[in-house]
Structure 1
């Protein structure tokens, strides 16, 4: 649905999103990391320094954002998660222990989903309405599972540049998709570790890509989904980089900064007034039996 008529005449919807993984980024990859305090401290930085710096920046800029948070982080970093909520930001679901889903272990996917929902409801008081799969890894059952549990949107797929509506195997509408891409994820440029070393990009390099991507999204009159991690973008120089990028976006007219749930609700409201049918996600067409079973 290009050239979306966003609220108040906005030309583009901008999502500032943060995957607040904390230590789960390392625990989910290798449970043995529990005995590696140096490795885990990279995630601790996100909770201890990164998120507070980001909250300060968002307050200065008078912007609201969405934080996708694993259930383990909600349970074990509760005070900082409560600060996020108090600052009027959205909490989205991001698994429980940030495990990459194995399509051959669907029980684990369901457990991660339900434990994450339970943690958010218990601590925040309300169920999440949005989901982002850890590392973008999931199974063909994801959209059905989210729809059955009352989610409004997903932000896992990389197959479009505009939001679109999933359709379940039986033809009923599923959740809305808010697509993303690695070029707009800070981890692609800034994440490194001793076991998986890779060079880090300069802030100028990252900023140049983000600006170019935003320019084209603005011209198309659509959607811009930026993905950041507090343990990465929460570093002092990168906070400065993010502030510069926000300033760059604000120079454009008719930009709508919104939380993910607000973008999803606006799109759904607009779609209800149009005659076009929703787009079917190819990820829903078949599982190992050739169909997706219904509960």
Structure 2
């Protein structure tokens, strides 16, 4: 069998990143600017900040797990107290654009979203992020140049592997490290309902079966399990229970390393790259 396994710290067999895309209202305003005038729609995003984040932080604290929160600049400006809570608990805050717009076909807007987001994180909470995740995994060819230019350590926007790898730039130089993700390990496709994009809301049992099967096999391969929750989705009462149950399931496997994105990227580079 093709050996895909990675050398993780302390002989761990599998690395687990529990990540949270803290989009808040930007999830709704970025797709349809009209939503800015719809308090009902926005309240869905606001739940993530108001209730979701504190409940998720309580859960992670109880479980003793450190996570990465991908935070749009707008969220940092409008829910600064929540981003401060995340940092106070020792979690990583990474970059997730400024306003969650899809800008992959507009290079100028992409630069603006990158720079405004960086500026907002620095100004509001003093964070210079090491990691980046694009909204909805939409990326342009120019993104990787931008990430290199701004000295990012890693990106988590692509779906072409289950293990970290190093981007090589067109000129042959080293780009950022990629920490791949996939829609099957994301709560949004299973539980994010809106009137404009109606879809079924699945039970915990259904979602957990997808996540557990995926974990079981990634563990067997020796890979990276990169799980994505959104506080407005994963912060609902029953979904908090799902997070607890998923962590408990993962902990039944020996040699699992829970880590932040920055820790995973640094450990992978140390083990697999010779300077």
- TM-score interval for Structure 1 and Structure 2 normalised by the shorter chain: over 0.9
SS class of match (1:195) = coil
Q: Output the CA distance in 2 between the equivalents of 1:13 and 1:123.
A: 31
State the alpha-carbon separation in 2 of the partners of residues 138 and 273 from structure 1.
29
* Pairwise CA RMSD: 1.0
What TM-score do you get using the length of structure 1 for normalisation? Answer: 0.91
Q: Distance in 1 between matches of 2:92 and 2:232?
A: 19
After TM superposition, the structure 1 = structure 2 runs for residues 256-295 of structure 1, keeping only pairs within 5 Å, are 256-273=257-274
Q: Secondary structure at the match of 1:146?
A: helix
Counterpart Cα distance in 2 of 1:236 and 1:153? 32
CA distance in 2 between partners of 1:9 and 1:20 (Å): 32
C-alpha distance after superposition, 1:104-151 (max 9, x if no partner): x11000000000001111122131110000011121001111011100
**Aligned twin of 1:164:** 165
CA distance in 1, matches of 2:184, 2:273: 31
Unaligned runs of 5+ in 1: 275-295
Tell me the matched-pair count. Answer: 273
Structure 2: state its 5+ residue gaps. none
Partner residue of 1:285?
none
Pairwise CA distance, 1:198: 1.1
Distance in structure 1 (CA, Å) of the matches to 2:272 and 2:248: 31
Shift of 1:217: 0.5
Contact 2:66–2:91, Cα closer than 8 Å, also in 1 = yes
Contact 2:6 2:163 in 1 (8 A): no
- 2:79 matches 1:77: yes
1:171-208 Cα shifts (integer Å, max 9, x gaps): 00000000000000100101111111111111100000
Runs of 4+ in 1 over 4 A off after TM superposition: none
2: CA distance, partners of 1:24 / 1:144: 25
Aligned to 1:221: 222
CA distance in 2, matches of 1:102, 1:170: 22
Tell me which of 25, 40, 43 is aligned to 1:41: 43
Q: Kindly provide the CA deviation profile for residues 76-98 of structure 1, in whole angstroms up to 9, marking residues without a partner as x.
A: 10001100000000001000010
Q: Aligned runs of 1:115-264 on 2, under 5 Å?
A: 115-264=116-265
Measure how far apart 1:9 and its partner are: 1.1
| Structure 2: distance between partners of 1:117 and 1:21 | 15
> Could you state the TM-score of these two structures normalised by the residue count of structure 2?
0.97
Distance 1:218 1:271 in 2: 19
